[in-house]
Structure 1
Amino acid sequence: MITKATIEDVSALNKLINSAYRGESSKKGWTTEANILEGKRTTEDELRAIIQDPKNTILKYTENNQIIGCVLLKEKENELYLGMLTVSPELQNSGVGKKLMQEAEVFALALGLYKIVMTVITVRAELISWYKRKGFVDTGLREPFPVSEVFSQTSNEPLEFMVLEKRIQ
């Protein structure tokens, strides 16, 4: 079941997102960033702030009272930003991510937004290919990768974000 996350979900979302992107547990799935980044992907404070912002929505995918997937949706002027698409590492390739993406499109259309944008670290070729198979295209735009106290880079390779977009109707 896909529903809107609330403040009560912050702890479970934090655990899920960090387990899917960083550390040993993330290596069970194919979306791991553990080979290029270490530290946390997000914090409970960041998630609380996201949920409290009325322009943001986190959709959660719940099964057996457990959050197994989520996606962040941010309303922008004429587009919807999609981020933190997360599926529990043990359940990746089970269709949860695809269902969250479909729900994101329904959400965008309900807001009258016909474009979804997102950023992906350019070295994540397998992930970029997955999004392209879902209809996203490379806009050619690049954004700098942020510096943070929460995480650090483990490779010497310079990181940047690729901006992808998908037009929907």
Structure 2
Amino acid sequence: MIETTSNLAFSTAGTGDAGRIQQLIQSAFRAEDNREGWVADLALNSRFTVDIGHIEQTITQPESDFLIATDSNGKLVATVGVSKREPGYGRIFMLAVDQRSQCGGLGREVLTYAEKYCQQIWGISKLGLDALSTRQALISWYRRRGYLPTQETKPFPREMYPDLALPEDLCFVQFEKEIQETIAA
């Protein structure tokens, strides 16, 4: 499935795309950002990694995909993971935009495409996602996109970073959005 929006081409990733998806996600998550509250902990961000096996598994599992956005030159500029978890409910994860393309509305366009994709392909009417509790600007951005906190959290995997002084209350904040009324089929 390929759809062009503005000057982007969207498609579902194949296993051959896993390496460049991994590189884009790690680069985007590690990027320094001078916007207050956008990047909460540079030490943590600089050590963020994503296992290529996880990306390949997402690509090959039924009812999960990585969606990719390429520019007019075929360069990968954004990606997002999507999955169907149960009838009518899906998850969005690892939304990443190339750091040279950030702040121009590309993230919003990719998120909107992911919502439409989940609705059209799997009949999703509600989507969930999570955000690191210390990334207040990102949380505000998701709220502006219609995602509301569920009041639930998931623990942060502190064991992966035993040498970092992390905030005691660090966790993933859970969000959900009803998409049935907001996205035309």
Q: How high is the TM-score relative to the length of structure 2?
A: 0.81
* Structure 1 gap segments, 5+ residues each: none
What letter corresponds to residue 45 of structure 1 in structure 2?
G
Deviations 1:87-111 (A, max 9, x none): 0111111121111111112112212
* Structure 2 gap segments, 5+ residues each: 1-8, 181-185
Q: Does 1:49 align with 2:57?
A: yes
| Structure 2 residue aligned with 1:84 | 94
Does the Cα contact within 8 Å between 1:29 and 1:89 map onto a contact in 2?
no
Does the Cα contact within 8 Å between 2:149 and 2:175 map onto a contact in 1?
yes
| Structure 2 residue aligned with 1:109 | 119
Task: Give runs of aligned pairs for residues 27-66 of structure 1, distance below 5 A.
Answer: 27-28=32-33, 32=39, 35=42, 37=44, 38-63=46-71, 64-66=73-75
Q: How high is the TM-score relative to the length of structure 1?
A: 0.88
Alignment coverage as a number of residue pairs: 165
SS of the residue aligned with 2:53?
A: helix
Cα distance in 2, alignment partners of residues 7 and 97 from structure 1: 23
Cα distance in 2, alignment partners of residues 153 and 82 from structure 1: 30
| Structure 2 residue aligned with 1:128 | 139
Which portions of structure 1, spanning 4 or more consecutive aligned residues, are displaced by more than 3 angstroms? 28-34, 151-155
Coordinate RMSD, CA, aligned? 2.0
Q: Does 1:73 align with 2:79?
A: no
Deviations 1:7-31 (A, max 9, x none): 1111111111000112xxx115765
- In structure 2, do the counterparts of structure 1 residues 6 and 147 end up closer, same or farther at CA, with 3 Å as the change threshold? farther
Of structures 1 and 2, the larger Rg is shown by 2
Q: Sequence identity of aligned pairs in percent?
A: 26
Q: Does 1:155 align with 2:155?
A: no
